Amino acid sequence: MKSFWNNYKSSLILLSAIILGGIIGVFMGPEAVVFKPVGDLFLNLLFMTLVPLVFFSVTSAISNMGEMKRLGKILKNIVIVFATTAIISGIIAMIGVLIMNPTKGLNSDMFASLMATATDHTSGEKVSLLQQLVNTVTVTDFKDLLSKSNMLQLIIFSILVGIATAMAGEIAKPIANFVEAGAAVMMKIVNIIMYIAPIGLGCYFASVIGELGPQILSGYAKVFILYLILTAICYFGLFTLYAYVAGGKDGVKTFWKNAIAPTVTALATCSSAASIPVNLDSTKKMGVPQDIAETVIPLGANIHKDGSVIGGVLKITFLFGLFGKDMTSLSAIASILVVSFLVGAVMGAIPGGGMMGEMLILSVYGFSPEVLPIIAVISTIIDAPATVLNSTGNTVCSMVVSRLVEGKDWLKNKINN
C-alpha cells in the first residue's frame, strides 16, 4: 500500500483536486467564476514556460542527436504514427455517428437565437491556400516566435537551429551544451510550478464546470454523450492497444502508471500547449528516449489531435443532420473523414483554438458563416475530453515511435538499465 501511494501520490492528489473542483462548480454554477483567477495564475505560469521550454527541448534533442539519420527516422515514424491514429479515431467517430445520430429529432428552430447573433467572418481579406500554408509554418518577424500562438512556427525554427548546430560540429558544441542546460533548467521550473497544480487545476476546473453546466444540459446533450462514449473507447481501448503494440504487457503497465498526470492536466486546462511540460515529464518516466520525447510531444501538441478529428466528424455530421444533407453515402463518409483529418491538423494548441478548423468546415461544405455558432458551441462542450485525447494521446504515441525507432526490446532495455 505504501509503494502504491508513493507511485501515485501526486496523480491522486491532482485527481482529487479536479473532482472537488468539479463538485464545487456544479453546486455554485456561474458563481464559481470567483475561482478562475487562481486557475488562471497556474495556467499562466505554465504558459510563461512554454516558449523557452519548447525551444530548448526541441533544439537540444536534435542538436545532441549525433546523427541526422536518426532524426530522419524519428520524424518519418512520427508522421506514420500520427496519421494512423488520427485515421483510426476518425473511422470510430463515423461509426459512432451512424449508430447514434445526435441530430435525430432536432428542430433547427432551437438554434435560431444562435444564428441571429452570428457575425459575418468572411468580410475580411481572403487568403489563398498556399498563402495560408506559408502563414501556418512561418512568421514575418523573429519576435513573433516568442508567442504561444505560433507554436508550430517555433517548433520548426527550433528544429532548424538543432539541425544547424549538429551540422556545425565541434565549433557549435557550446551552443549544444547551452540548449541542453536550458532544457534541464526549464524542466526544473516546471517541477516547481507543479507544486501548486492541485490548487490551480481544482480552481480552474471549478470555474469551467460552473460556466459550462447550462450548455451541457441544452439540446447538445446527445453530442456530448456520444463524444464521451467515443472518448472512453479511444482512451481506454485504443490507448491500451497502442501501449501494448509499443511494449507488450510492460508497455500497458508503464503507460497507465504514468498517464494520470497528463490526463488530469489536459482535462482541467483544456490546452494541449499547457500540457506539454507535464507530458514531457511523464513520457520520460515511461522510458521514452529523451530525443524522441522532446520531438514527439511539442510537435504532437500542434499537429496530432485525435480528439479534434473526432470533434470534426461530429461537427460536420451535426450540420449535415440539421440541414438534411446525406451523410451515409461512401463519398460523403470519405469527405467527412478527410475534412475532419484536416481539422485535427489545423486546430490551435491553446484553449478555444478551433476557429480555423470550424471555418474550414463551413468553407468546404458551403455552409453560411451565420451557422458558425452552432458548431462553436460543440467545441466548447467537448473541449475537455477532446484535449484529453489530443494531449494524452501524444504520450502513448511517443511510446509507439520509440518501438519503431529503437526496436521491439526498447522498453525492456530501459527497465533493465
pLDDT in tens, 187-203: 889 889 888 888 988 89
> Given phi > 0 = left and psi -120 to 50 = alpha, else beta, which region is 347?
beta
Contacts of 132 (CB under 8 A, 6+ apart): none
**Which grid coordinates are listed for 230?**
467515443
Model confidence at 6, pLDDT cuts 50, 70, 90, reads low
Task: Confirm if 357 and 340 have CB atoms less than 8 A apart.
Answer: no
Lowest mean pLDDT among 73-87, 278-292, 336-350: 336-350
Angle of the 372-406 helix axis to the 290-303 helix axis, nearest 10:
160
Contacts of 248 (CB under 8 A, 6+ apart): 411
Question: How high is the pLDDT of residue 349?
Answer: 44
Angle 269-274-275 (CA atoms, 0-180°, nearest 5)?
Answer: 90
Q: Distance (Å, rounded) from C-alpha 98 to C-alpha 100?
A: 6
Q: Give the number of other Cβ atoms within 10 Å of residue 28's Cβ.
A: 17
Q: Distance (Å, rounded) from C-alpha 195 to C-alpha 191?
A: 7
**Which grid coordinates are listed for 276?**
506539454
Report the helix count and the strand count for the chain, using DSSP H and E.
Answer: 18, 0
**Which grid coordinates are listed for 395?**
504520450
> Side chain identity at 255, as an amino acid letter?
F
Model confidence at 80, pLDDT cuts 50, 70, 90, reads very high
- Against a cut of 0.75, is the pTM above it? no
Q: Which of 347, 69, 12 is nearest to 197 (CA)?
A: 12
Give the mean pLDDT of 392-416. Answer: 87
Mean pLDDT of the chain, nearest integer = 82
Lowest mean pLDDT among 104-108, 162-166, 256-260: 104-108
210 burial via Cβ count (<10 Å: 0-12, 13-18, 19+): buried
Q: What is the DSSP string of 44-64?
A: HHHHHHHHHHHHHHHHHHHHT
> Given phi > 0 = left and psi -120 to 50 = alpha, else beta, which region is 66?
left
Task: Confirm if 155 and 276 have CB atoms less than 8 A apart.
Answer: no
Lowest mean pLDDT among 35-49, 65-79, 277-291, 392-406: 65-79
Give the mean pLDDT of 136-160. Answer: 84
Residue 405 confidence (pLDDT) above 70: yes
Model confidence at 253, pLDDT cuts 50, 70, 90, reads very high
> Given phi > 0 = left and psi -120 to 50 = alpha, else beta, which region is 368?
beta
At 328-354, the pLDDT tens digits run 888 888 889 988 887 776 555 444 445
CA 255: distance to chain centroid?
17
Question: How high is the pLDDT of residue 167?
Answer: 86
Give the mean pLDDT of 155-166. Answer: 89
Q: Which of 266, 299, 289, 274 is nearest to 389 (CA)?
A: 266
**Which grid coordinates are listed for 11?**
496523480
At 195-233, the pLDDT tens digits run 888 898 889 888 877 876 655 545 568 888 999 999 999
61 burial via Cβ count (<10 Å: 0-12, 13-18, 19+): buried
Question: How high is the pLDDT of residue 109?
Answer: 58
Q: How many angstroms separate the first and last alpha carbons of the chain?
A: 26
Q: Choose from 29-38, 69-78, 112-121, 370-379 the range with maximum mean pLDDT.
A: 29-38
Residue 121 confidence (pLDDT) above 60: no
- Which whole-number Å values give the CA distances from 248 to 405, 409, 410, in the listed order? 16, 10, 11
